[in-house]
Structure 1
């Protein structure tokens, strides 16, 4: 089964890369494949590669799963590449394609939250500039510090130096809007690089207020399981002192005014449970 799709124009321009199915249960990125396979798809300049990263997890016998034993989005480091796993070999095989790219769009979805956002890392400062340009498609941008208690993800990896990686989280896995968000962000990604004609559905809303956030805390379980005080759909506001859940019997209390970016189905000690963010600024685009 083909996992690398190449497209080019007769005219010089940027080299872009798009990665989909990093996690096998995040199928919204397949909408990009439908788009690039359409008869009327053509680049006006530059070149594009679309990489399907973890098809085996997507086509697992029991149905699509996040991974087959190793989370591919936690091993984008020299140490991770040293692991003797199928996922590490796949990461190593994609690096040459990604190192040739001027910018990388990594497409994901979420287990529970349904509010799309863009994710950039302090390790790649130029990604923040790209996020502002993509804000018309996805008007929330979160900046993450270098990881401290987990493995390295693609959008923050130091294996890529000059490239500009950015993540779009398109909503909940089964959300009807997630493929549309993936497609709109992809077309905007091409458009801001001057690689397709603007107008039509390559652009989304004519104006948006883009909200910028920074991560303030990643919470892992000490005891487990995680129990939430209320259902959370993404960017849910917490007031300082508010109890928003429990780690086993221990209450989880907001240490400042913030928002819940992500919750995960965490059960065991050490599981990644929640990510909290704070609003830093807004900008009209």
Structure 2
């Protein structure tokens, strides 16, 4: 496909709403991956409610992007030319965008720069319940320095999912080392998605995995999450009937296993968050060797269709993190 043609014919549709009263600046993305349609449907429902007046923005600014990757959506596949949720950084000044997704990133990055909170809506290939993904705890380390973990955790808590998962960039760096690749700045940059970019700009963000791609309930999971975020931030009227959020189960990603050969097979059909016991068989390699669970834990994002050399599944364990309690204050490593 001619990327110049697609670049000239695709449009990035952006809905912007600004109250006359100052307040938080929230951006919601859907369709970062083209085969994940629930976020788009949830956003469209919120757009309709705002446009017909049944939902009122009381303060702050709200930006809604129903389809963040138009090419991938037209093709109804995860990627257009590459994964938009990797290497999510603007093109260097004076350089030409390397591909279609780089052109999209060059439009989305300045848009994210004008906001302080991101909700990125996704879905996944295997069966499983909706869950939220958050970034690191407050830290001043070299990988992903951060000082808004409590706010980010509160957003995840109020989305109402039964589980929250942490540890993405740490495990991405570990995956590089596992493949014998240097975890240098250039390699780690490819692990950057929308949330990592937002955190690097002084904001914070949560990825909501709304369920399996075809789950008919997933669009409403997305819609409710947008409304929950708006209520938490005081941007719309509170719901007097809403119960306090229940503490979710919190998991930490600890490893990623790649599919090495097209003949690598799971021993059964796994769903995200299926529990496994230490030593339990998970898959069989092409050479007949059995892959066992390294410890008690949970399967995350199993992908029986993964291409050789890409992520086959992630492994998670229970986390000791408490989303309800702020950590000791850290000095900010940046200003906005």
Judge same fold: TM > 0.5, yes or no.
Answer: yes
Deviation of 1:2 (Å): 5.5
User: Where does residue 32 of structure 1 map in the other structure?
Assistant: 43
- Report the alpha carbon displacement of residue 157 of structure 1 after superposing the two structures with TM: 3.3
Q: CA deviation at 1:32?
A: 1.4
CA 1:168–1:226 in structure 2 vs 1: closer, same or farther (change >3 Å)?
farther
Do 1:117 and 1:170's aligned partners in 2 also have CA atoms closer than 8 Å?
Answer: yes
Answer whether contact 2:128 2:273 (CA < 8 A) is retained. Answer: no
**1:69 CA drift (Å):** 2.4
TM-score (norm. length: structure 1): 0.89
Alignment-derived partner of residue 186 in structure 2:
none
- 1:22 maps to 32
Mapping for residues 1-285 of structure 1, pairs under 5 Å: 1=11, 3-30=13-40, 31-38=42-49, 39=52, 40-51=54-65, 52-60=67-75, 64-77=76-89, 84-122=98-136, 123=144, 124=146, 126-127=148-149, 129-136=151-158, 137-146=160-169, 147-148=172-173, 149=176, 151-157=191-197, 160-199=200-239, 203=242, 206-248=244-286, 249-281=288-320
CA distance in 2, matches of 1:181, 1:279: 24
Mapped to 2, the partners of 1:238 and 1:82 lie a distance apart of 47
Unaligned runs of 5+ in 1: none
Count matched residues.
Answer: 280
TM-score normalised by the chain length of structure 2:
0.76
Greater fraction of residues in strand: 1
TM-superposition CA deviations, 1:64-106 (whole Å, max 9, x none): 1111221111121468997510111101111111011111001
Distance 1:159 1:213, change over 3 A: closer
Q: Give the gaps of 5 or more residues in structure 2.
A: 1-10, 137-143, 177-189, 325-336
Whether the aligned pair in 1 keeps the contact of 2:258 and 2:309 (CA below 8 Å) is: yes
Contact 1:138 1:185 in 2 (8 A): no
Q: 1:10 and 1:255, CA in 2 relative to 1: closer, same or farther beyond 3 A?
A: same
The one-character-per-residue Cα deviations of 1:17-71 (angstroms, maximum 9, x if unpaired) are 11110001100012112212221122111011112311222122xxx11112211
Q: 1:145, CA displacement in angstroms?
A: 4.4
> Offset of 1:262 from its aligned partner?
1.1
In structure 2, do the counterparts of structure 1 residues 267 and 95 end up closer, same or farther at CA, with 3 Å as the change threshold?
closer
Q: Distance in 2 between matches of 1:79 and 1:10?
A: 34
**Structure 2 SS opposite 1:175:** coil
1:246 CA drift (Å): 2.1
CA contact (8 A) 1:141 1:212 kept: yes
How far is the alpha carbon of 1:134 from its aligned partner? 3.5
Backbone CA RMSD of aligned residues: 2.5
Larger radius of gyration: 2
